[in-house]
Structures are given as C-alpha cells and as structure tokens.
Amino acid sequence: MIKKTQTAALYFSVVIMAIASIFWVNGLILAWTAPTAVPPAGNVAAPLNVGSTGQSKAGGLILNTGGAATGLIVNSGNVGIGTAAPGAKLEVSGNIIANTPTASNHVATKGYVDAAAGGGGCYISYSGGCLAGFTNMGSAGTWGYCVTSNSTGSSFFRPPGGGCGGVASKDIGTAYVCCQ
C-alpha cells in the first residue's frame, strides 16, 4: 500500500509539473508583442534603401568593406560633413587632414603651402626690392593713388590692380610679390 501511495504521489507530481510547464510556455508566447506596423513605421530601425526621399541613420555608416574600386559616388547635390546644409559640392565644418598633394587639382593644406613657399609666407613690396631672406616672385602690378575732385585735393592709396572709381589716378611704381 505504501508503494501504491508513493507511485501515485510521483504521478501526481509529474502531472502538476507538466501543467505548470504548459502555463509557463503559454505565458511566454502571450507576452510577445507583434510589430504594430510594417517597417519602418517607428517600431524598428528603418533600412537604408534606394528610394528618392532623404534618409537618416542614427549609427555609423560603413561603406565599401568589400574592396570595390569606388567607395562612394554622389551623382547630384552637395555633401556635408559636420553640416546639415552644405553650400558646395563638399563642405566640411572642421579640420581636414590630408596627405601631400601630388597634382595641381589636389587640396593643399596651409602647412604644405607654407613649406612649399619656404616656410615664411609672402608679402607685397612697394619699394621695388624684397627684404633679406625673401625672393622676388615677380610683379603684382602697378600701384599709385587716386585724386579726389574735392577742394582739398586729397588722395587715397590705390593697390596693385585696384581702381579709382572714376576719379583721376596716378601711377607711382610697380609692386612685387616677395616670398620666403
């Protein structure tokens, strides 16, 4: 009789555990919430696609991991880095780090230009000569002054290439570009 009681208790325990397991699995299934709309209606991240409307992505965007010859082509419009409204084909809000330019149409940094010019920059000389350590790079044009037509006969400086706005002009000499 004790053996029958133990066997009945064992069967009863197994049945209770099976019923509890069914309720637990059913609770997991019922706790799942289906998407409320077809993506990208707000419940999942929108995929980038080939549509004609503008798209944004919150995370980083990594391109050309397969080693294609061209990483990014923008057929029309402007590209902005650090700006939401670029005003040119490429507008960068911030600094650009670039290697040494190798062709005349490459971007050159201030450091590269200074080094290529000898490191010290350039100035305009009105005296006809350059300071020690500077090289005369050629004419910047004639300079002089403009004479106003008022009763005092005052005048003002006219730089190379500058105009006098219709008043008389007097050439003084040639200005030169001097660079280190």
| pLDDT tens string 64-117 | 888 888 878 888 888 888 888 888 888 888 777 766 666 666 676 666 666 666
CA distance linking residue 124 with residue 107, whole number of Å? 25
CA distance linking residue 82 with residue 90, whole number of Å? 11
CA distance linking residue 22 with residue 16, whole number of Å? 10
Helices (H) and strands (E) in the chain, counts: 2, 6
CA distance linking residue 166 with residue 148, whole number of Å? 9
Tokens 């294609």 -> residue: 68
Would you say residue 1 has pLDDT above 80?
Answer: no
Higher pLDDT, 116 or 57: 57
Sequence-separated (6 or more) residues with CB below 8 Å from residue 40: 46, 47
Higher pLDDT, 101 or 125: 125
CB 176 within 8 A of CB 139: yes
Task: Delimit the domains of the chain by residue range.
Answer: 122-179
CA distance linking residue 53 with residue 86, whole number of Å? 17
CA distance linking residue 71 with residue 65, whole number of Å? 9
* One-letter identity of residue 28: L
pLDDT at 141: 83
Backbone angles phi, psi at 6, to 5 degrees: -65, -40
